[in-house]
Amino acid sequence: MKKRLSMVLGLLAAASFAYGQAQNPECMQNLSIFAEHAKVKNYEAAYEPWKMVFENCPDLHYATYAYGEPILKDRIKNDEANKPEYINTLMEVYDKGPQYFPKRYTKAGSMIDIALLKFDNDMATDEELYELLDKAFKEDQENFKNPKAMYLYFSTLVDLHGAGKKDLQEVFDTYDAVTGKIESENRELAEIILKYVEKDSAGTLTAKEKRALKNARINGESYEKISGSIDSKLGALADCDNLIPLYQKNFEERKGDADWLRGAAGRMDAKGCTSDPMFVKLVEALDAIEPSASSKYFLGSLYEEKGDNSKALDYFKQSVDLETDKYKKANKLLSIASKARNRGQKTTAYKYARQAIDVNPSEGRAYMMIAGLYADSANECGSTTFEKKAVYWKAAEMARKAGQVDPSMGNSASSAASAYEGRAPSRSEIFNSGLQGQTIRFNCWVGGSVKVPSL
């Protein structure tokens, strides 16, 4: 229901006026009155004429719904005695908006607004909130974009599970669906940021593009926060002690369901349950009915668990080759890079992290990994302490790049860049070195160069 409210001039357009006069001249007059008051946030004066239009001519103009929300929220805030009445009316506004003006208001948006209003005013049980948000998510997922609603949707489900009212499998299924939606939204935001970030650096963005870039970054940070909260809410429910018996119980019934097998194996892999025989059963069943990027990846995890890193890498590479989705391909490449880094293989890790960036230029985690690899190699680069510490400037550059291309990395990228810069040569060291403004080249595997800041 959050729509731009600068439509007052359009309210009196000839076509709308003629339509309003033909339907109910009094409604048109009151529409004009409440819109003028609401435009300057005089919601008290706007209420009565707005109410007349809402009750008698609900299909006259979408301004009735766009302005109805702030008008009623003002009444809710300032008229405690009649607060329940105004809340109920606001729920009607949310409900009727998509009915009369479906091109401006969505089904999911309407149900989300109602759910959040009920939640904020303690007017619904967890069951009622979950059912409303579950319906919104399943019937109109495309328009389910509110981060607070995403968290509330999942959080109430976990609470219902804790109360013995929902199965653990439903919790995992919903977790997959919600986090998948967040990933999808972040992908769209990343595309926007990638589209404008170079122009931003060059200072050539238009005012409209600046707003789009700013909004994409803000929304990306919101999704990052909510994603962390959802993971925290899931907590210990997704540990091996819960996963293994659940999958043992459901395996015979679901062993022909590739989606279920893929999700179950993926969760066990993510939680480090790969040494359990249940993981082997899941992977073998998945590869038998649907050899794919996922099944090859899980086979790689099996061989890695056995300590056969060479065989594991072969399957991981097969998984990458079979993957057609660029985001999933980048994730797999990044996973290979992470495994190599954990084994101390910096150049191999760098190789696959770079490939991840080549596949998906907005993969901020790959930039962050490279930044970490640079920092890990500081003592290997340069012949002097100053030159060794200068590597941290290069690490900071990569960390900042992560934040520029990936909205979900926002705060973490900024914090990492600051930390790396704190380990780079200090102002006094720069001054004493006599290298201000000069370029330092790295002859180690890191390669490239950095320019020493001028004081």
State whether CATH 3.30.980.20 applies to domain 239-322.
Answer: no
Reference 120, options 94, 143, 144, 152; nearest CA is 152
On the question of pLDDT at 15 being above 60, the answer is no
On the question of pLDDT at 352 being above 50, the answer is yes
Burial class (CB in 10 A: 0-12, 13-18, 19+), 104: middle
Domain boundaries, the chain: 8-208, 239-322, 324-455
Which tokens sit at 2?
């959050």
The CA distance from 216 to 377, in Å, is 34
The CA distance from 356 to 333, in Å, is 5
Q: Give me the chain's average pLDDT, please.
A: 90
On the question of pLDDT at 367 being above 90, the answer is yes
Residue of higher predicted confidence among 9 and 43: 43
Confidence of residue 11 (pLDDT cuts 50, 70, 90): very low
Confidence of residue 407 (pLDDT cuts 50, 70, 90): confident
The full 3-state SS of the chain, as one line of letters, equals CCCCCCCHHHHCCHHHHHHHHHHCHHHHHHHHHHHHHHHCCCHHHHHHHHHHHHHHCCCCCCHHHHCHHHHHHHHHHHCHHHHHHHHHHHHHHHHHHHHHCCCCCCHHHHHHHHHHHHHHCCCCCHHHHHHHHHHHHHHCHHHCCCHHHHHHHHHHHHHHHHCCCCCHHHHHHHHHHHHHHHHHHHHHHHHHHHHHHHHHHHCCCCHHHHHHHHHHHHHHHHHHHHHHHHHHHHHHHHCHHHHHHHHHHHHHHHCCCHHHHHHHHHHHHHCCCCCCHHHHHHHHHHHHHCCCHHHHHHHHHHHHHCCCHHHHHHHHHHHHHHCCCHHHHHHHHHHHHHHHHHCCCHHHHHHHHHHHHHHCCCCHHHHHHHHHHHHHCHHHCCCCHHHHHHHHHHHHHHHHHHHHHCHHHHHHHHHHHHHHHHHCCCHHHHHHHCCCCCEEECCCCCCCEEECCCC
Domains 239-322 and 324-455 share a fold: yes
The CA distance from 317 to 311, in Å, is 10
On the question of pLDDT at 12 being above 70, the answer is no
On the question of pLDDT at 394 being above 70, the answer is yes
Contact, 250 vs 169, CB < 8 A? yes
Options 1.25.40.10, 3.40.640.10, 3.40.50.1820, 1.10.150.20; CATH for 8-208 is 1.25.40.10
Whole-Å CA distances, 368 to 296, 372, 447: 26, 6, 17
Contact, 171 vs 234, CB < 8 A? yes
CATH architecture of 324-455: Alpha Horseshoe (1.25)
What confidence score (pLDDT) does residue 1 get? 55
What confidence score (pLDDT) does residue 442 get? 92
What confidence score (pLDDT) does residue 455 get? 80
Confidence of residue 199 (pLDDT cuts 50, 70, 90): confident
Confidence of residue 23 (pLDDT cuts 50, 70, 90): low
Q: Summarize the confidence of residues 406-417 as an average pLDDT.
A: 86
On the question of pLDDT at 225 being above 80, the answer is yes
The share of the chain scoring above pLDDT 90, in percent, equals 74
Contact, 335 vs 368, CB < 8 A? no
Q: Summarize the confidence of residues 306-324 as an average pLDDT.
A: 92
Output b/e per residue, 314-333; b: 16+ Cβ within 10 A: ebbbbbbebbeebbbbbbbb
Reference 336, options 309, 372, 305; nearest CA is 309
Lowest mean pLDDT among 83-97, 206-220, 343-357: 206-220
pLDDT tens digit sequence for 267-289: 898 888 988 999 999 999 999 99
Confidence of residue 198 (pLDDT cuts 50, 70, 90): confident
On the question of pLDDT at 129 being above 90, the answer is yes
